[in-house]
Structure 1
Amino acid sequence: MEQVAPLAAAIRDADSVVALTGAGISTASGIPDFRSDSGIWNRFEPEDFHYRRFCNDPKDFWEDRVELHETMFGEKVEPNPAHDALHELAEEGYLHTLVTQNTDGLHDSTAETAAKLIELHGNAHRVVCDSCGRKTEAGPVRERVESGERPPRCGDCDGIFKPDVVLFGEQLGKSDLQCARERSRNADVFLAIGSSLSVEPAASLPRIAERNNATTAVVNLDKTPFSALAEYDIRGDVTDVLPALCEEIAD
């Protein structure tokens, strides 16, 4: 990992560092990805994640949510060394914005990190009323579903709760996306971590940073569409590379 040392130097000298994370940062915590042989797309159909299915048959939709939660979080999952490394970079003032495509909530471990966190696709540990917009923790609502309340309804307006995640057919939150793009545009260093960089609009963020003269790095097991443009293309396990990067920065 000879590229780690010069990347660490760039981060130490930067006024603004932005990291984008994808599914590849959470697989070591036991969260399945989407496209591998054991991924989500081999267990569920994309239509299961579409907003129109929620609208047309919320009862059936919520039955699948219970199964999906068991698939993703059947055993207690914890942040892994890659999450911990980003947390450390944030606490030490080296990471200023953390943008994630993940909905597993593993980045939201401290107020220090959360203040820098943009969850582009939402958070599966919350639900939101589709009528009035009220948000609450998903755990108690999921327990109501498991007890037979399908679909679960909002106590304020009797609307139907949906997972507070962006389903197919829904738009990303404009303010979150605008903020992510602005932070990327102003970044001195941009890190793309554990992301295939194949899903828009998140995939465009490193390109925005690169066009504005940021130092860019990809940390991923496989080649991505952005790898050829990145100044640093580090092929490796994020749970090895990120702790090594933290250690190099601290030296």
Structure 2
Amino acid sequence: MSAKRPLIAVMTGAGISTDSGIPDYRGPQGLWQQDPSAQDMVTIGPYLADPEVRRRAWLMRRDVGALAAEPNAGHLALAELERGGLPVRVLTQNVDGLHQRAGFPARKVLELHGTATEVSCARCRVRSGMDEALERVAAGESDPPCRACGGVLRPCTVMFGEPLDPEVIDRAEAVAKACDLFVAVGTSLQVYPAAALPRIAVEHGARLVIVNGEPTPYDDEADEVIREPISIALPQLVHRLLDGA
């Protein structure tokens, strides 16, 4: 009988996607450091109440170009790890869909904060593609309303002021409890409840590895802290894990 293969949980934050051209928010060069008022664009109250906030948000989505971003070496390394036969689950705070585009199976990705690849109506809940909404912005609609009922369109992401989906969090906590290795990549580990996942993993006996350019509250609890750029460090870590499989 073959030995049980260790379960690897990888929690990813904005830092893994910066090399794909998607800016982070909290880092030294993050969007909120440069423009603190930008946080209104991802906070549910101001977003629903203020058409000007929505217009700024649509311009940001258009200019950031997240839908056109391509997976980078970090995303591709995690897809390689999964293909290598090790049990892996990705718990991502990102909403860009780049793990799936890199070839990581969608059923093994938990999107803790939702997805920016779709929009929904705040009134009637009808969903449609973000690409279609951005085409309307490019055509001159600064704040495109829902075509079904005229309500406010919003991305299918969890905004500040909203709770995370309890079913998604329950599944993420189950992975954290079951994993043998928890790898936190490109995340400040400051946004709860997602930031509690590493502690849950450690308390249930998992090893903790942190790959992040800046210090995190969990560095002292980690078995290994890697400060190298993610697109370099993550492929190296994956090769180590595959060599030890």
Shorter-chain TM-score: what band? Answer: 0.7 to 0.9
Give the Cα–Cα distance (whole angstroms) in 1 for the partners of residues 181 and 26 of structure 2. Answer: 28
Which of 24, 28, 31 is 1:40 aligned to? Answer: 31
Contact kept? 2:79, 2:103, Cα under 8 Å: no
Corresponding residue for 1:53? 46
Which of 118, 134, 157 is 1:142 aligned to? Answer: 134
Structure 1's consecutive aligned runs of 4 or more residues displaced over 4 angstroms after TM superposition are: none
Corresponding residue for 1:72? 64
- Give the aligned residue type for 2:47: F
Which structure 2 segments of 5+ residues have no match? none
Distance 1:132 1:93, change over 3 A: farther
- Give the aligned residue type for 1:53: P
Among all aligned residue pairs of Structure 1 and Structure 2, give the percentage whose two residues are the same amino acid. 36
Of residues 156-165 and 190-199 in structure 1, the stretch that sits farther from structure 2 once superposed is 156-165
With the length of structure 2 as denominator, give the TM-score of the two structures. Answer: 0.88
What's the offset of the Cα at 1:55?
A: 2.0
Corresponding residue for 2:125? 133
1:203 paired to 2:195: yes
- Give the aligned residue type for 1:80: N
- Give the aligned residue type for 1:48: M
Corresponding residue for 1:24? 15
Give the Cα–Cα distance (whole angstroms) in 1 for the partners of residues 99 and 217 of structure 2. Answer: 25
Q: Deviations over 1:191-210 (max 9, x none)?
A: 11111111111111000000
Of residues 142-151 and 19-28 in structure 1, the stretch that sits farther from structure 2 once superposed is 142-151
Corresponding residue for 2:95? 103
- Give the aligned residue type for 1:26: S
Give the Cα–Cα distance (whole angstroms) in 2 for the partners of residues 224 and 106 of structure 1. Answer: 24
Give the Cα–Cα distance (whole angstroms) in 2 for the partners of residues 75 and 96 of structure 1. Answer: 25
Give the Cα–Cα distance (whole angstroms) in 1 for the partners of residues 166 and 24 of structure 2. Answer: 25
Q: Deviations over 1:44-75 (max 9, x none)?
A: 51223221122212x32331123212442289
Could you say what secondary structure the match of 1:171 adopts?
coil
Could you say what secondary structure the match of 1:36 adopts?
coil
Contact kept? 1:192, 1:218, Cα under 8 Å: yes
Could you say what secondary structure the match of 1:133 adopts?
coil
1:232 paired to 2:230: no
Give the Cα–Cα distance (whole angstroms) in 2 for the partners of residues 92 and 114 of structure 1. Answer: 17
Give the Cα–Cα distance (whole angstroms) in 1 for the partners of residues 84 and 10 of structure 2. Answer: 15
What's the offset of the Cα at 1:162?
A: 0.7
Could you say what secondary structure the match of 2:99 adopts?
coil
What's the offset of the Cα at 1:239?
A: 1.1
Contact kept? 1:16, 1:187, Cα under 8 Å: yes
Corresponding residue for 2:160? 168
Corresponding residue for 2:172? 180
Which of 216, 219, 229 is 2:208 aligned to? Answer: 216
What's the offset of the Cα at 1:148?
A: 3.8
RMSD across aligned positions (CA)? 2.3
Give the Cα–Cα distance (whole angstroms) in 1 for the partners of residues 241 and 151 of structure 2. Answer: 49
With the length of structure 1 as denominator, give the TM-score of the two structures. Answer: 0.86
